[in-house]
Amino acid sequence: MPRLPQTPQNPRRSAPKWVRRLIGPVLLFGLWLLFANTGVISERTLAPPGKVWAAFTDLVRTGELQHHIVVSLHRVVIGLVLGIAIGVVLALASGLFRIGEDLIDGPMQILRSMPVLALTGLLIVWAGIGESVKIWMVVLGVVFPVYINTFAAIRSVDSRLVESSATFGLGRVGLIRHVILPGALPGFFTGLRFAFAVSWLVLVVAEQTNATSGIGYLAMNAREFLRNDILVVTLFVYGALGFLSDALVRLLERSALTWRPSFIAA
């Protein structure tokens, strides 16, 4: 039988992974540069990279961009903190107590199928057009993913672990502390990642309705004045913030779930 040649993989032949990962984005950027500068894409459709960079440096120099980012971050952080707190408290109440489930879970399951953004109008009627509407919209966006995932995680903790831990002398409080809450933590983190993503999504919309500051306002304003270049800048800012917040959750997850096989191996 002919033997297949067993050539060892030459490690020098392929570039490091991060370099290979960069090829796609760099290519995309090159195409943008090419098409914008040769006029294939008109400036009114998509500003060329040079103009976007100029707009970016302009906004940074005047301090405008930093101001809007700080305002948006402020809203997102407050909304996230409140939303996560409310979501967790509700999930604990309905996950750990039968009466809690009866009272809370039904309404939550109904409300969660409602798109948060559809509530914008109602929230404006309730809370006016000030700062609080934007924060409450983020809160509403965040509460549901946190609640749904944490509640499901509490309920799906392995009952055999609960049973055996009870035979080893853990009471109800001990079971909650040593078995149920740690067991539900991975599910909570899944909810947290959704919450972070949703919070930016909601804020984009909230800031484009009756706002006078924030990245959403910057984008809306740019649209009014047909400032294509600034619009692209805001898109990049959103992208960067979304990326950073996802990295933050992953960092938290890594430090809280060190026992998971995927993290042990790493």
Q: Which of 254, 256, 230 is nearest to 47 (CA)?
A: 230
Sign of the Cα pseudo-torsion (116, 118, 124, 130, in order): positive
CB of residue 92 vs other proteins: minimum separation in angstroms? 18
Q: Which stretch binds other proteins (CB under 8 A): 51-59, 95-103, 210-218, 251-259?
A: 251-259
Distance in Å, CB of 254 to other proteins, minimum = 14
Q: Which is nearer to other proteins, 90 or 180 (CB)?
A: 180
Whichever of 179 and 198 has its CB closer to other proteins, that residue is: 179
3-state secondary structure at position 255: helix
Q: Per rule CB under 8 A, is residue 4 in the interface with other proteins? A: no
Cβ atoms 137, 207 nearer than 8 A: no
Per rule CB under 8 A, is residue 266 in the interface with other proteins? Answer: no
CB 264, min distance to other proteins, A: 6
Q: Which is nearer to other proteins, 205 or 256 (CB)?
A: 256
Residue 114: closest CA among 144, 151, 139: 144
Residue 10, number of CB atoms within 10 A of its CB: 7
Contact predicate 234/170, CB 8 Å: no
Size of the site for other proteins (CB under 8 A): 21
Structure tokens at 233: 């800048």
Residues 173-212 close enough to bind other proteins by CB under 8 A: 174, 178-179, 182-183, 185
Q: Does 252 bind other proteins (CB under 8 A)?
A: no
- Contact between 18 and other proteins per CB under 8 A: no
Tell me whether residue 78 or residue 170 sits nearer to other proteins (CB atom).
170
Residues 152-171 that bind other proteins (CB under 8 A): 160-161, 163-165, 167-170
Find the shortest distance in angstroms from Cβ 248 to other proteins. Answer: 22
32, HSE (Cβ side, Cα atoms, 13 Å): 15
Alpha carbon distance 167, 147 (integer Å): 30
Rounded Cα distance, 161 and 150, in Å:
18
Nearest CA to 119 out of 131, 109, 108, 127 is that of 127
> Which residues would be at the binding site for other proteins (CB under 8 A)?
160-161, 163-165, 167-170, 174, 178-179, 182-183, 185, 257-261, 264
